[in-house]
Amino acid sequence: MNDEKIQVRVTSSGQTLDVVVLNKRLDVITVVLGEGVHNVRCDLTLTRNGSAYVGNVGGREIVYERSREDVKADLARAAGFRDFRR
Q: For the chain, how many structural domains are there in total?
A: 1
Radius of gyration from C-alpha coordinates of the chain: 13
Q: Tens digits of per-residue pLDDT, 27-78?
A: 999 999 988 899 999 999 999 999 999 999 999 999 999 999 999 988 888 8
59 located within any domain: yes
Is 29 in contact with 71 (CB distance < 8 Å)? yes
Structural domain including 49 reads 5-79
74 located within any domain: yes
Q: Does the pLDDT at position 25 exceed 80?
A: yes
Which residues, 6+ apart, have CB-to-CB distance to 25 below 8 Å?
75
Task: For Cα atoms 44, 68, 84, give the angle at the middle one, nearest 5 degrees.
Answer: 130
- Residue 23 CB burial class (10 angstroms; 0-12, 13-18, ≥19): exposed
85 located within any domain: no
